[in-house]
Amino acid sequence: NAGVTQTPKFQVLKTGQSMTLQCAQDMNHNSMYWYRQDPGMGLRLIYYSASEGTTDKGEVPNGYNVSRLNKREFSLRLESAAPSQTSVYFCASPPPEGQGTAFYGYTFGSGTRLTVV
Amino acid sequence: QQQVKQSPQSLIVQKGGIPIINCAYENTAFDYFPWYQQFPGKGPALLIAIRPDVSEKKEGRFTISFNKSAKQFSLHIMDSQPGDSATYFCAASMFQGGKLIFGQGTELSVKP
């Protein structure tokens, strides 16, 4: 099935450990996004990539780095995890503007639930 | 100016009721206003969306009302069902595929 695949689904880290969250999309979209979801705060944009080879900071980039490895893959790295990074992380990808006349929304992955202790 | 403010944070209604979720924005450059629905353990999924050139859009039991002058928009769910119990997010962006700025989310519970 076409969509966005995230790995892992769950992860527990100790403070100071590092890890990379993986995301891949098979829809041939140009843009990919990383959001974090916290109770009462909605989804906040961490980083995004408008096209292969480009990345930009979102609203809450501190403590994170990203790599757009190719058109399909966009990874999020925590170099030194902190308890404040405990969250649910979503990767998402929208279709290009103007695709068809209907509204096409972002396709979200199923999320990575990260706990930092 | 990039914020989208959503209320209420949680909402409980009886089956058949009409829950209403409200959102307000500041940035007049926003041109695309979607609503997303999220079930527990899943990623959000597009429910319905509107552009500011119309004041209302209906899709099935879901309706968006849009007030451009007040910079507000709302989601109405007609004849709500227990299966509608989910978290709802409003959002805004400059164009359809652009960066989405999300509201804080509303956890809706529809009681049988």
Residues A68-112: pLDDT tens digits?
A: 989 999 999 999 999 999 999 999 998 776 654 456 688 999 999
What is the pLDDT, as a whole number, of residue A105? Answer: 81
Lookup result for tokens 């009886």 = B14
- The answer on pLDDT for B70 being more than 70 is yes
Nearest by CB to A105, which of B6, B34, B41?
Answer: B34
Does B6 touch chain A if contact means CB atoms closer than 8 Å?
A: yes
C-alpha B5/C-alpha B104 separation (Å) is 7
In terms of Cα–Cα distance, which of B87, B65, B33 is closest to A42?
B87
CB < 8 Å to B100, chain A: 33, 43, 45, 94, 106
Contact B46 A33 (CB under 8 A): no
Length of chain B: 112
Nearest by CB to A43, which of B9, B46, B102?
Answer: B102
Q: Which two tokens stand for residue B36?
A: 């997303």
Does B44 touch chain A if contact means CB atoms closer than 8 Å?
A: yes
Instruction: Determine the residue type at B48.
Output: I
What is the pLDDT, as a whole number, of residue A101? Answer: 46
What is the pLDDT, as a whole number, of residue A56? Answer: 96
Q: How far is A15 from chain B (nearest CA, A)?
A: 25
- The answer on pLDDT for B30 being more than 80 is yes
Mean pLDDT across chain A: 91
Averaged pLDDT, B48-67 = 94
What is the pLDDT, as a whole number, of residue A77? Answer: 98
Where on the phi/psi map is residue B16: left (φ > 0), alpha (ψ -120 to 50), or beta? left
For B72-88, the pLDDT digits (tens) are 999 999 999 999 999 99
Averaged pLDDT, B76-101 = 92
Q: How far is A58 from chain B (nearest CA, A)?
A: 9
Chains A–B, number of C-beta pairs less than 8 Å apart: 67
Contact B43 A104 (CB under 8 A): no
C-alpha B110/C-alpha B112 separation (Å) is 7
CB < 8 Å to A88, chain B: none
- The answer on pLDDT for A67 being more than 80 is yes
Q: Is it true that the peptide bond before A95 is cis, omega within 30 degrees of 0?
A: no
What is the pLDDT, as a whole number, of residue B96? Answer: 74
In terms of Cα–Cα distance, which of A83, A85, A81, A55 is closest to A67?
A55
| Bridge partners of residue B24, in order along the sequence | B5, B72
Contact A105 B42 (CB under 8 A): no
What is the pLDDT, as a whole number, of residue A13? Answer: 97
